[in-house]
Structure 1
Amino acid sequence: MKGIYLINEKIHINGHLQDESVEIQQAALLDLMDKESVVPVKLNPYQLNQHYTIPHALFYDLKLHKKQIDCLLMYSNETIADFGATYPARWLILKSYFDRILTVA
């Protein structure tokens, strides 16, 4: 199964600092990917990380490549809450590119 994982660099998980929260998300998502046998997809060859941190960039790359991906992995629904509330139509379109959305928490 192929998937894309999204890490929110601006949330604080369980009161941890931002850097620690990113590490927690990264570790948890890599573990989930291992358990679910998900192979990460990198749509943009110029992207520095294997994961996305900006939902708008993910939306742009999905729209550009017109690919249907098996799953989107996120730490929790909180990861995308601000984006979904601010851009509800864009969030619905972004979700439509994935067959499943998996969260750790």
Structure 2
Amino acid sequence: MKGIYLINEKIHINGYVHDESAAIQQAALLDLMNKEGVAPVKLNPYQLNEHYTIPHALLYDLKLHKKQIDCLLMYSNESIGDFALTYPARWLILKSYFDRILTVA
């Protein structure tokens, strides 16, 4: 199974600051990927990380490559909450590129 994981660097998990919160998300998502047998997909060869931090960039790359991916992995629904509330149509389009959405929490 192939997937893309999204980390929100702006949320605070368990009161930790941004960097620690991002590290917690990444560790939890990598663990989930190992358990579920998900191989990370990197759509943009110039992308520095294997994960995305900006939903707009993810949507742009998905539209550009026109790929259907098995799953989107996120730490929690809170990690995409602001984007989904601010851009509901874009969130629906982004979700349509994935067969499943998996969260840790």
Task: Please list, as runs of the form range in 1=range in 2, the aligned pairs for 1:1-12 lying within 5 A after superposition.
Answer: 1-12=1-12
Q: In the TM superposition, what is the alpha-carbon distance from 1:16 to its structure 2 partner?
A: 0.6
Q: Which residue of 1 aligns with 2:13?
A: 13
How many pairs were matched up?
A: 105
Secondary structure, counterpart of 1:5 in structure 2? strand
Q: In the TM superposition, what is the alpha-carbon distance from 1:41 to its structure 2 partner?
A: 0.1
Identical columns (%): 87
Q: What are the ranges of 5 or more consecutive residues in structure 2 without an aligned counterpart?
A: none
Q: Which residue of 2 aligns with 1:99?
A: 99
Supply the distance in 2 between the matched residues of 1:81 and 1:17 (Cα, whole angstroms): 19
Q: Give TM-score scaled by structure 2 length.
A: 1.00
Q: Which residue of 2 aligns with 1:60?
A: 60
Supply the distance in 1 between the matched residues of 2:57 and 2:17 (Cα, whole angstroms): 24
Supply the distance in 2 between the matched residues of 1:70 and 1:38 (Cα, whole angstroms): 9
Task: Please list, as runs of the form range in 1=range in 2, the aligned pairs for 1:80-99 lying within 5 A after superposition.
Answer: 80-99=80-99
Task: Please list, as runs of the form range in 1=range in 2, the aligned pairs for 1:3-42 lying within 5 A after superposition.
Answer: 3-42=3-42
Q: In the TM superposition, what is the alpha-carbon distance from 1:31 to its structure 2 partner?
A: 0.1
Letter aligned with residue 87 of structure 1:
Y
Letter aligned with residue 83 of structure 1:
F
Q: What are the ranges of 5 or more consecutive residues in structure 1 without an aligned counterpart?
A: none
Supply the distance in 2 between the matched residues of 1:94 and 1:3 (Cα, whole angstroms): 13
Tell me the alpha carbon deviations over residues 11-70 of structure 1, each in whole angstroms, 9 at most, x when there is no partner. Answer: 000101111100000000000000000000000000000000000000000000000000
